[in-house]
Structure 1
Amino acid sequence: MRKKKKTEIYALGQHISMSAHKARRVIDQIRGHSYEETLMILELMPYRACSSIFKLVYSAAANASYKMGSNETNLIISKAEVNEGTTVKKLRPRARGRSFPIKRPTCHITIGVTDISLEYEDGYDFIEKYRNKDYLTSSKKPRWKNMCTDMINTINKNVCSSGGVWDKK
């Protein structure tokens, strides 16, 4: 039995000094994108988490080119997850000899990249697996949109036929 070649390469950042919730809002934007798109997205986003995630994506791509010899144009962000780390607890002195607790959350970020050229011939199947675009191409209109236009049309018919709201008596 032949072992399947490992096609996913990881980069792990531990004890990054930020909340996991703040890092997740950036991670959700890059999951499933190509390596080059991810770098552009991270450069243009205004969040503090982007700089540390940018370093991890760059490190994952460097790991993939070193271990598998893959080209950076064929890389896709296949796995991106954020877990909560330990909370650093400190005490801040306050008035009358009291203390106030300071809790600084940390998080662990894992970025996994996959080379499309090793897995699939054209790469499009892999992209569709990780990035679902059904909601963009669906032709079904929302229910509330039809109700809203129907209400506006009935209001307009009533106003035009009754002589209007604008008549001053």
Structure 2
Amino acid sequence: MQKAKSSGKYLRISSQKARRVLEQIKGKKYQEAILILKFMPYRACKTIIKILESAANNLVSQYDTTINKNELIIINAFANNGPKLKRFQPRAQGRAFPIHKPTCHITIELKNK
């Protein structure tokens, strides 16, 4: 059994919103997951497609064989919290209102049947 994984770090997406998409593709075949992601209306989908394609290419380059992408299965897909970008919004009477812009780390793991 051949495995490969790929990850995207410090992505400007909330980990909660990324997990919502990743739950839909976990356990699916590679081609089916790409199709699902292309027609989902979420912003995280574009980034997840790139990471998924990277994982498939890692599998091909690691084992140096011609791998049929129809046989690849997503065994693990998760999003962890990254550091928050801290910004301030000016408010009335000279106050400052904190804004926390979240980042996340997405990891996808594939295996060959």
Q: Same fold (TM over 0.5)?
A: yes
1:98 and 2:95 matched: yes
**4+ residue runs of structure 1 moved beyond 4 angstroms?**
none
* 2:14 equivalent in structure 1: 19
* 1:75 equivalent in structure 2: 72
Report the CA distance between 1:49 and its aligned residue. Answer: 0.9
Instruction: Please give the secondary structure, in 1, of the residue aligned with 2:103.
Output: strand
Query: Which of the pair is proportionally richer in helix?
Result: 1
1:10 and 2:5 matched: yes
Q: Which among 31, 35, 50 is matched to residue 36 of structure 1?
A: 31
Report the CA distance between 1:109 and its aligned residue. Answer: 0.6
**Larger CA Rg, structure 1 vs 2:** 1
Name the aligned partner's letter for residue 103 of structure 1: H
Distance of 1:8 and 1:15 partners within structure 2: 24
C-alpha RMSD of the superposition: 1.2
Deviations 1:117-157 (A, max 9, x none): xxxxxxxxxxxxxxxxxxxxxxxxxxxxxxxxxxxxxxxxx
Q: Which has the higher contact order (CA 8 A, sep 6+)?
A: 2
Conservation of the 8 A alpha-carbon contact between 1:92 and 1:101: yes
User: Taking structure 1 as the reference length, what is the TM-score of the superposition?
Assistant: 0.63
1:47 and 2:39 matched: no
Report the CA distance between 1:99 and its aligned residue. Answer: 1.2
Deviations 1:57-106 (A, max 9, x none): 01111111111222212211111111111111011222332211110011
Can you give the 5+ residue segments of structure 1 that lack an aligned partner in the other structure? 1-5, 117-169
Q: Which among 84, 99, 108 is matched to residue 111 of structure 1?
A: 108
Name the aligned partner's letter for residue 32 of structure 2: E
User: Taking structure 2 as the reference length, what is the TM-score of the superposition?
Assistant: 0.92
Query: Which of the pair is proportionally richer in strand?
Result: 2
Report the CA distance between 1:39 and its aligned residue. Answer: 0.4
Instruction: Please give the secondary structure, in 2, of the residue aligned with 1:86.
Output: coil
1:60 and 2:66 matched: no
Distance of 2:76 and 2:96 partners within structure 1: 42
